[in-house]
Structure 1
Amino acid sequence: MKPLRLLLTLASLALCACSTVSVTNEWKDPAWSGPPASSVVVVGISKSDLIRRKFEDTFSQQLLAAGLKAVPSYTQIPPGNGGAVKLTDLVRSSGAEVVLVTRMLRVEQKIDVTPTGPAYGGFYGWYGGAWASTAQVTQYDVVTLETSVWDAKTQKLVWSVTTEAVSQEKIAKATEELAQALIPKLRTDGILR
C-alpha cells in the first residue's frame, strides 16, 4: 500500500511541477499579407523591472537561436507607460519589422484533490484502507498571458494569442517554454520567417 500511495503523491506533484504552455485563443489578421518578419523588438509588460528584463532577454535569446534578429526593449526604454516615443525610436533604429508584446492577464489558483488508498484487495481491504487514507491536496497557479505581434510600419495588430501554463518560480524557464511554444506557431502562421 505504501508504494502505491508514494507513487500517486509523486505523480500529482510531477503534474504540477512540469509546465506546458497551451494556446487557449488565437487570432491572425486575415488582411495582413506579410512578408514574414526576420527582425523583432521584444516587449514584456510588467511592474517588476527584473521580471521584464529577464523575460525580454530570454525571449530574445530564443528568437536569436531560431535565426531571427531580436532586440529587448528595456535596453533603450525605461519601465512604465512613458516610453512610447523611445519605443518608436528603438523600432526604427533596430530595423525591426514587428514588435512582440507579452503581458499577464490573470493568475488563477487551482486545487487538485487526488484520493489515495488501496486499489486492490477486495471490498473489505479497500473499505478499511479508504477510512485510513487521506486525499492528496495540491495547490498551484495557472498563469494566462497575452502575446501580441504588431506590424512596425502600419502599427496595426497582426497576430495575438492567449496562453496558459502552470506558474513557475523561474522566469527564464517559463519564458523559454513560452518561446518554444510560440516561435513555431508564429512561423506556421506566416508572422516570422
Structure 2
Amino acid sequence: MKALRLFALAAGLVLCACSNVSVTNQWRDPSWPGPPASNVVVVGISRSDTMRHIFEDTFSQQLQAAGVQASPSYTQIPAGTTGAVRLRDLVKSSGAQAVLVTRVQRVEQKVSVTPSGPMYGGFYGWYGGAWAATPDVQQYDVITLETSVWDARSEKLVWTVTTQGIGRNNVPKATTELAQTLIPKLKADGILR
C-alpha cells in the first residue's frame, strides 16, 4: 500500500512538470506554396489590454529566441475591430510575411474529486483513518485557444491549431508554454523558418 502511494505521488510530480498545453486539432493548407515566414506580426485577441500586451510581448520574445523576427501588434494597433487598416499598414511596414493570431475559444470549469478511503483493520483504525481520508476537491478552468497563421501576401489562412490547457494566473508562463508547444510545430510544418 505504501509503495502504491509513493508511485502515485511520483506520477503526480512528473505530470505537473510536463507542459500544460496540449494540441487538440491542427490544420495546414496543403496548397500553400510558402516560403516559410521569417518575420511575423503577433496579435492577441483580448478585451484586456494588459493581457494582450503580456501575450504579444511574450510570444514575440519566444519567436525571436527561435530565430524568427516578431513584432507585437499592440504597439501600433488599438484593441477592437477598428484596427484592420492599421494592421495592414503594420504588416507592410514591418515586412512581415505572416500574422499569428491567438484568441480564446472557450473556457470550461471542471471539478476533480479524488476520493480516498479510510484504512481498515478494525473499527478504531477505520475511525481514525476516516477523519484523515477526506476527499481532495479541486476546481479549475480548461481553456481552449485557437491560434491561426495568415499569409500576409495572399491574406489567406495557412495554418490553424486549437490547444487546451489548465487556466492559470501567470499569463507570461502560460504564453511561454503555448509558444514552446507551437513554434516547433510551425517550423516542422514549414510555416516558420
What is the distance in 2 between the residues matched to 1:10 and 1:109? Answer: 26
Flag the 1:60–1:125 CA change in 2: closer, same or farther, 3 A.
farther
Preserved contact between residue 111 and residue 139 of structure 2 (Cα < 8 Å): yes
Residue pairs, 1:7-26, within 5 angstroms = 20-26=20-26
CA deviations 1:17-37 (Å, max 9, x no partner) are 975100001100010021111
Residue pairs, 1:122-133, within 5 angstroms = 128=127, 131-132=130-131, 133=133
What is the distance in 2 between the residues matched to 1:190 and 1:125? Answer: 65
Flag the 1:128–1:101 CA change in 2: closer, same or farther, 3 A.
same
Q: TM-score, normalised by structure 1?
A: 0.87
Task: Look up the match of 2:148.
Answer: 148
Q: For structure 1, list consecutive stretches of 5 or more residues without a partner in the other structure.
A: none
- Give 3-state SS (helix, strand or coil) of 1:82's partner: helix
What is the distance in 2 between the residues matched to 1:117 and 1:13? Answer: 22
What is the distance in 1 between the residues matched to 2:192 and 2:125? Answer: 56
Task: Look up the match of 1:79.
Answer: 79
Preserved contact between residue 101 and residue 149 of structure 1 (Cα < 8 Å): yes
How far the C-alpha of 1:125 sits from its partner, in A, is 8.3
- Report the identity percentage: 65
CA deviations 1:112-169 (Å, max 9, x no partner) are 11112356x6687886567442211111111100000000000000000000000110
How far the C-alpha of 1:15 sits from its partner, in A, is 6.0
Give the counterpart letter for 2:162 in structure 1: T
Give the counterpart letter for 1:51 in structure 2: M
Flag the 1:14–1:170 CA change in 2: closer, same or farther, 3 A.
farther
Task: Look up the match of 2:172.
Answer: 172
How many residue pairs are counted as aligned between the two chains? 191
Task: Look up the match of 2:188.
Answer: 188
Preserved contact between residue 107 and residue 143 of structure 2 (Cα < 8 Å): yes
What is the CA RMSD across the aligned residues, in angstroms? 3.1
What is the distance in 1 between the residues matched to 2:27 and 2:125? Answer: 50
What is the distance in 2 between the residues matched to 1:139 and 1:124? Answer: 33
Preserved contact between residue 44 and residue 52 of structure 2 (Cα < 8 Å): yes
Give the counterpart letter for 2:142 in structure 1: V
What is the distance in 2 between the residues matched to 1:149 and 1:57? Answer: 17
Flag the 1:65–1:130 CA change in 2: closer, same or farther, 3 A.
same
Preserved contact between residue 115 and residue 136 of structure 1 (Cα < 8 Å): yes
Preserved contact between residue 118 and residue 130 of structure 2 (Cα < 8 Å): no
Residue pairs, 1:20-169, within 5 angstroms = 20-118=20-118, 128=127, 131-132=130-131, 133-169=133-169
What is the distance in 2 between the residues matched to 1:184 and 1:19? Answer: 14
Q: TM-score, normalised by structure 2?
A: 0.87
Preserved contact between residue 21 and residue 163 of structure 2 (Cα < 8 Å): yes
- Give 3-state SS (helix, strand or coil) of 1:116's partner: coil
Flag the 1:92–1:123 CA change in 2: closer, same or farther, 3 A.
farther
- Give 3-state SS (helix, strand or coil) of 2:70's partner: strand
How far the C-alpha of 1:94 sits from its partner, in A, is 0.3
